Structure 1
Amino acid sequence: MNLSLQIFASLVLSVIVGLVLGEGAAAPVKTWIAPIGTMFINLIKMMIVPVVFCSLVVGMTSMGDMKKLGRIGIKTLSIYMVTTAIAIVIGFAVALAIDPGTGMSMAGATAPKVKEAPSIMQVFVDMIPSNPIASMAKADILPVIIFALFVGAGIISVGGKRAETLISFFDAFAEVCYKIIAMIMKTAPIGVFCLLLPVVVMNGPKVLLPLLSVIICMLIGCTIHAVCVYSAMTTVAAHMSPVTFFRGMSEAMAIAFTTCSSAGTLPVNMKNVQEKLGVHRDIASFVLPLGATINMDGTALYMGVCSIFIANVFGVPLTFDQMMMIVLTGTLASIGTAGVPGAGLIMLAMVLQSVGLPLEGLALVAGIDRVLDMFRTCLNITGDAAVAVVVNASEQEVPSDIQITE
């Protein structure tokens, strides 16, 4: 059984075991099983900064051309913004068709406390690290990306033997990082089981059933976006079949589904995209870290669904202008949302405020946010990979007949 099947089997097993154990086993599961899942997440997070920094420096130096970097950056940002806007529209369409929340009551509910989202200008300010080492310690991906770009540009400017020494060092370090990730991935079935079991035990069908319509909306919306938008992108731009794309992404998608962290899945995603989808390292090392920070298609789709849901619960009809405001706000807010669990609530709070919907609606969504986070994170990292494949093909650096390696 290959690793992808092992991870899928552990997903199924965790759901079955969790439903059998029920809420009565929440305490021992939280005490003995959940920490093992946390250890697995920590192992993956351990590699985020080293693999992003080294890969990006190597990618920069292998390009050897600042014009090429600028061209790739413009393509990447443009595609990310467009797919994010499409995701919100799909969320609206699915939610309007299913009409979740109609007939529900919000009696006694209070809105959960949500951290205030930074302004767009503050996001730009925070991108420039005053202390790169501190940014690495906190795993702030955007400042690390900026620092790596400057290091790469500096190495290109120096040139000669001294530059070659540094390039060889970072190249070797990046290879070591990928080997460590491969070792960590061998423990993925155990880690996935230990991550998902506590979620199933503590939530269970009692919490999920009343809000099943929202979960169904998310599942349908994410499936439509992945199958229609991403498949169309990779098929048209890279001549890559959907089967090839999703087979190559299966491991990363499973890790994203259980960890609910775009940043946490980044090392696995970078490895899969290069080894199984044939994306060159210089493209992957730029597009994927940037995507893990600003590309939030799953979160955008979630905002469309939850806006309709909360509007239905409170009996507030959304106008077309309000929906367009949600599309605009959500697309821009995705730039400032970190790829960590629960960050979607920050964006949702911003969107609700922008169109005057009551924030008390967050109370219902917060109850199932962990479940919804699985779907949206899985879609987020799949979108990052699809854009990497498209950008790579546009640079004419990869043949159309890519072969999957097992």
Structure 2
Amino acid sequence: MTLTKKIIIYMIMGMIIGTLINLTDLMRFAWVNNYVVYGLFEIIGTLFVNALKMMVVPLVFVSLFCGTTALREPRQLGSLGGRTVFMYLLTTGIALVIAVAVASLLGVGEGAVFPSNLEYQAKEGKTLIEVITGIVPQNPVDAMANTEMLAIIFFAIILALSALKAGQAGERIITFFQDFNEVIMKMVLLIMQVAPYAVFALLAKVFAELGIEAIKSLAGYFFTVLALLIFHGLVVYPIILKLFSGLSPLVFLKKMRSAVAFAFGTSSSNATIPVTLRTVTERMGVERSVGSFTIPFGATINMDGTAIMQGVATVFIANAYLDGGLTLLQMGTVIIMATVASIGSAGVPSAGIVMLQAVLVQMGLPTDALVIILSIDRLLDMTRTAVNITGDCAVTCIVAKSQGRMSQAIYYDPDSGDVKQDQQSEDVKMVQEN
């Protein structure tokens, strides 16, 4: 059985087991609550997510360095970066326009009554100026320790361009990083072997905690966001992929299954970078020089799922607190603000909620209402992370195809990059060598 099939099966099993625990109220028993849900499930899930996060900084730094040096010409990097930023901003803009328009037409939040004693201490989000000035790190080691992705990306690119101009010394450094990159890829493959069991534990814990009542109280908001996320992932991205690249959307969606399952389980674009990068390079045929730039960059600035949540949440809270909801001018302001906020959102669980407060403050809406949204945000966070990484892969394919840095033979091969197939190929090669 392939890894993708295993992940999907264990994902469904985790959702079923977690739901059964919740519906049958098994968590009232101390041993289920302490030793199963918050014991076994949490330990397995946390260890796996930590293992993924452990790889993020070295993987992004090394792969981006190798990708930049593979381009050889700074002009190629400028063309690649420009197209990537344009496509990411385009998809985010489309997501926000659809979200605000649909939420307003449906009147999401109208008649909703929030308790008057809500208290939500939101963390301080970064301003646009802080995001821009943080691109150049004062201390690259400190940036790596704090997983500041834009700073890591900048330092990796500058170091790679310097290596290209350093002659023989630079070539030796490039060779070292190329070998290091191969080792990192093997480590990714090794950790992926335990992914199905970790996904099962993560989802079983989440669904055991959620409960139906939490969703019922905010049904309009919850199902509007969920429907828009699914629509964006299954309709908008395939259309954009077809229009800009001519590639088959069905093939794309089939090859996204494993990465989507990872993202859904971890709720972190950053933690999913190793899997997303492997998906575009080995499953879809994108050259590593392109994927190693667009995927880490997308995990930092491409937050379409987060933008959808922020757009609907703002309309929801505005309809609950303001007579008549938002005006057209205010809707335009929400779209601009949410675009900036989604770009500044970190690729970690529930980061979008932190950035949402900036949008609410700008619109003069109370941030206390965020505590209501937080009560059901976990499941939506998982879904929008899956949408975010789907967008990363779609844009990567579009950019790679436009620059002739993609193998369509690999893209249309249903077995390309499959973990089981890779292992069989290695076994055959070893036998032949012996």
- 2-structure distance, mates of 1:95, 1:3: 38
> Which residue of 1 is the match for residue 47 of structure 2?
39
Q: Does 1:238 align with 2:250?
A: no
Name the CA distance, whole Å, in 2 between partners of 1:283 and 1:93. 34
Q: Tell me whether 209-218 or 349-358 shows the greater mean CA deviation.
A: 209-218
1:87 alignment partner in structure 2: 95
CA distance in 2, matches of 1:187, 1:98: 43
SS in 2 for 1:53: helix
Q: Which residue of the partner structure matches residue 144 of structure 2?
A: 136
Report deviation, 1:27: 3.3
Matched, 1:348 2:356: yes
| 2:215 alignment counterpart | 208
Aligned position for 1:226: 233
Q: CA deviation at 1:166?
A: 1.6
Shift of 1:341: 0.8
- CA displacement at 1:251 relative to structure 2: 1.1
Distance 1:343 1:7 in 2: 25
Q: How many residues matched?
A: 405
Identity of aligned residues (%): 38
Q: Distance in 1 between matches of 2:193 and 2:5?
A: 12
Cα displacement (A) at 1:312: 2.7
Report the CA distance between 1:128 and its aligned residue: 1.3
Quote the residue 2:154 is aligned against.
146
Q: Which of 93, 96, 108 is the aligned partner of 2:104? A: 96
Rounded to whole Å, the distance in 1 between the matches of 2:258 and 2:299 is 16
Matching of residue 282 in structure 1 with residue 289 in structure 2? yes
2:4 is matched by which residue type in structure 1?
Answer: S
Aligned mates of 2:197, 2:370 — CA distance in 1: 33
1:295 counterpart residue number? 302
Query: Once the 2 structures are TM-superposed, how far is the Cα of residue 103 of structure 1 from its aligned partner?
Result: 3.1
Asked whether 1:125 is paired with 2:133, we answer yes
The alpha carbon displacement at 1:11 in A equals 1.9
Contact 2:290 2:405 in 1 (8 A): no
Question: 1:309 aligns to what?
Answer: 316
Range 288-297 or range 219-228, more displaced: 219-228
In the TM superposition, what are the counterparts of 1:178-217 in structure 2 within 5 Å? 178-217=185-224
Contact (CA 8 Å) 1:84, 1:297: kept in 2 or not?
yes
Given the alignment of the two structures, is residue 13 of structure 1 paired with residue 13 of structure 2, yes or no?
yes
How far 1:335 sits from its partner (Å)?
2.5
Shift of 1:184: 0.9
Provide the C-alpha distance between the structure 2 equivalents of 1:251 and 1:116, rounded to a whole number of angstroms: 34
- Tell me by how many angstroms 1:190 deviates: 0.8
Kept in 2: contact 1:26–1:202 (CA 8 A): no
Q: Deviations over 1:109-164 (max 9, x none)?
A: 414211111221211222212221222222221111111111101111112x3322
TM-score w.r.t. the length of structure 1 is 0.95
**Correspondence for 1:27 among 7, 26, 34:** 34
Give, in whole Å, the separation in 1 of the partners of 2:55 and 2:183. Answer: 10
Partner of 2:423: none
Q: How far has the Cα of 1:338 moved from its partner?
A: 0.9
| Alpha carbons 1:26, 1:198 under 8 Å: kept | no
Which residue does the alignment assign to 1:59? 67
Runs of 4+ that moved beyond 6 A: none
* Counterpart Cα distance in 1 of 2:92 and 2:40: 39
**Following the alignment from structure 2 to structure 1, what is the Cα–Cα distance between the partners of residues 117 and 105?**
26
1:51 CA drift (Å):
1.0
Quick one: which amino acid aligns to residue 139 of structure 1?
T
The CA deviation at 1:102 is 3.2
After TM superposition, give the deviation of residue 229 of structure 1 in Å.
Answer: 2.3
Give, in whole Å, the separation in 1 of the partners of 2:153 and 2:208.
38
CA–CA distance in 2 between the matches of 1:335 and 1:244?
28
Deviations 1:215-244 (A, max 9, x none): 211221112212232112222232221111
Larger Rg over CA atoms: 2
Letter in 1 for 2:104: L
Gaps of 5+ in 2: 419-434
**Structure 2: distance between partners of 1:234 and 1:351:** 30
Structure 2 counterpart SS, 1:261: coil
Shift of 1:400: 4.2
CA contact (8 A) 1:239 1:400 kept: no
Given the alignment of the two structures, is residue 165 of structure 1 paired with residue 180 of structure 2, yes or no?
A: no
Distance 1:264 1:283 in 2: 19
In structure 1, the residue matched to 2:346 is 338
Tell me how far 1:66 sits from its aligned partner.
0.6
The correspondence for 1:72, drawn from 65, 69, 80, is 80
Between stretches 205-214 and 292-301, larger displacement belongs to 205-214
Q: Tell me which moved more, 24-33 or 257-266.
A: 24-33
Question: 1:255-404 residue pairs with structure 2 within 5 A?
Answer: 255-316=262-323, 317-401=325-409, 402=411, 403-404=413-414
| Structure 2 length-normalised TM | 0.89
Please give the root-mean-square deviation of Cα atoms over the aligned residues, in Å: 1.6
Which has the larger displacement, 349-358 or 102-111?
Answer: 102-111
User: Contact 2:131–2:344 at 8 Å: present in 1 too?
Assistant: yes
Letter in 1 for 2:301: I
